[in-house]
Amino acid sequence: MSDVLHQLSLAALARLLAARDVSAVDLARHFLDRIERHRGLNAFLDVRPEVTLAQARAADARRAAGESGVLLGIPVAHKDIFVTRDFASTAASRMLEGYMSPFDATVVERLASAGMVTLGKVNCDEFAMGSSNENSAYGPVLNPWDAAAVPGGSSGGSSAAVAARIAPVATATDTGGSIREPAAFCGITGTKPTYGRPSRWGMIAFASSLDTAGLMTVSAEDAAWVLSAMCGFDPNDSTSVDRPEEDFTRDLARPVKGLRIGVPKEFFADGMQPDVERAVRGALETYRSLGAELVEISLPSAELGIPVYYVVAPAECSSNLSRFDGVRYGHRAKDHGDLADMIKRSRAEGFGPEPKRRILIGTYVLSHGYYDAYYIKAQQVRRLIADEFRQAFTRCDVIAGPVVPSVAFGFGEKAADPVSMYMSDLYTIPGSLAGVPSVSIPCGFGEGANASRPVGLQLMANHFDEARLLGVAHQYQLATDWHRRVPSAFAD
């Protein structure tokens, strides 16, 4: 049994723990061994077995004392954007190299309270800025399905760890698609809740009006269990929504017969690779065979999502990252002149190319004479996009379409062309700007030279309708086996 633990679902692992057929320490050791065996993926940045095993022993003691719970003793990896007391929190940057937080992020704290055991911190694009995980200061993460392909970003470490089954669950963050895109590229389930559902307290901020904590899991069912523990009102977070806590597993058994699935005509325009379109349309036909109704809808302003996002997000990035000046926070240059020179050198050394690019763009659009022309106008269009989503949900229950226009691309393929890289977020950014919950689920693979690279289906629901969204995803996964497939190099 011990040699196949990584192949089991979260629910199956929970049953083994409840029956005392396996202990939390057994699980922790199993996954720590797999992390060590597959260090070449570069998915983990900080692993401290003594901390993990201490948490596992504490979980076993809680269970021995009579406590129960689906998540008690289940291992989890945390994206290196969430601060943690017992593991370094670097945002995959040189600016925060070696930083040890005095507290845990609320998301980390809530999952620990539920009994989850931290395996370590996983790699990501620096300060969560990127679509390929090529921007990490500690090197790129490899895609478990194809080592020549990027795993997607910014949560590439989270997606690769789950896809390779070296962690059963990983936290992640999504600003413009950073959960859904890497989930699609790595063939797993990525869940972004409604903005404000999970707390942002203790997340190293990129764009405060967009950053959303979420999950990488094998299945929608696994996500529903963990999301139920992760979400909840947090008075420390001014953007946290004060709503009763929910059981997101409640709609998993709900059939999709009669479900109205909105298909935006703008999502199937020029630019999508034919193999991606075939896989996505095949998934839609599966839903039709299950009794769902496909309804054509229109999101005419969705095509403006990328220019809007790349005004709003860099503007907020410029504000948030201004604190890292070598005086109060972050790396300080050893050789410098006066104060101004120290700040310049510290930032030049501490930030990588992508954060620098976004800081410069953001500072420009917030500057005198350009604020009204760019930032205010972008916020107005953002409102139009949100209104179109609200209108669309009067005609359908969920919206479906591709996650990205292509399967995972190769390392270096888009690195010299930032605009081409930004276009990877074409289908994810509109939902982020509207703040709606979204999920990416695997629905097939590419063709020809890309036959080993997964394709993802994106599902979006109205605000606070996560339970229904995950139920719809789960019904597809009951009818298919794409999510159960494991890269051959990581099956054993």
Q: What does the DSSP assignment read for 431-448? A: HHHHT--EEEEEEEE--G
Residues forming beta bridges with residue 260, ordered by sequence position: 293
Closest by CA position to 227, among listed 327, 146, 107: 107
Whether the bond between 154 and the residue before it is cis, its omega within 30 degrees of 0, is yes
136-156 tens-digit pLDDT: 999 999 999 999 999 999 999
Give tens-digit pLDDT for 102-124. 999 999 999 999 999 999 999 99
Q: What is the pLDDT of residue 360?
A: 95
Contact call for residues 252 and 237 (beta carbons, < 8 A): no
Query: 157-195: buried (b, 16+ CB within 10 Å) or exposed (e) per residue?
Result: bbbbbbbbbbbbbbbbbbbbbbbbbbbbbbbbbbbbbbb
- Return d(Cα 456, Cα 469) in angstroms, integer: 15
Q: What is the pLDDT at residue 6? A: 96
The pLDDT assigned to 53 comes to 98
* 393, 259 Cβ separation under 8 angstroms: no
Q: Is the pLDDT score of 383 beyond 60?
A: yes
Domain ranges (residues) in the chain: 2-253
| Nearest C-alpha neighbor of 362 from the set 131, 127, 203, 202 | 127
The DSSP H or E segment spanning 181 is helix 180-186
Could you tell me the two tokens for 226?
């963990």
- Tell me which DSSP letter residue 373 carries: I
Per-residue pLDDT averaged across 387-405, rounded?
97
At residue 476, does pLDDT exceed 90? yes
d(CA 250, CA 57): 31
Residue 478: in which H helix or E strand, if any? helix 466-479
Per-residue confidence (pLDDT) for residue 2, from 0 to 100: 62
| pLDDT at residue 483 tops 90 | yes
Check residue 443 and give its pLDDT.
98
DSSP, res 142: P
Please identify every residue annotated as catalytic. 79, 154, 178
pLDDT in tens, 331-377: 999 999 999 999 999 999 999 999 999 999 999 999 988 898 899 99
CATH class of 2-253: alpha beta
pLDDT of residue 178: 98
DSSP tag of 140: P
> Does the pLDDT of residue 42 top 80, yes or no?
yes
Q: Residue 420's pLDDT is what? A: 81
The pTM score is: 0.97
**3-class DSSP state of 77:** strand
Distance CA 245, CA 146 (A): 39
Q: Which amino acid is at 78?
A: H
What is the phi-psi region of residue 398: left when phi exceeds 0, alpha when psi lies from -120 to 50, beta otherwise? beta
Over residues 198-251, the pLDDT tens digits come to: 999 999 999 999 999 999 999 999 999 999 999 999 999 999 999 999 999 999
Q: How does pLDDT run across 272-283, given as a tens digit for each residue?
A: 999 999 999 999
> Among candidates 107, 89, 13, which has minimal Cα distance to 45?
89
Mean pLDDT over 446-472 rounds to 97
Alpha helices in 247-338 (DSSP H): 274-289, 305-320
How much is the mean pLDDT over the chain?
Answer: 96
pLDDT-based confidence at 1, cuts 50/70/90? low
Q: Are the beta carbons of 76 and 118 closer than 8 angstroms? A: yes
**Cα separation values, 70 from 19, 27, 52, Å:** 12, 14, 19
Which pLDDT does position 369 carry in this prediction?
86
pLDDT value of residue 434: 98
- Does the pLDDT value for residue 35 go beyond 90? yes
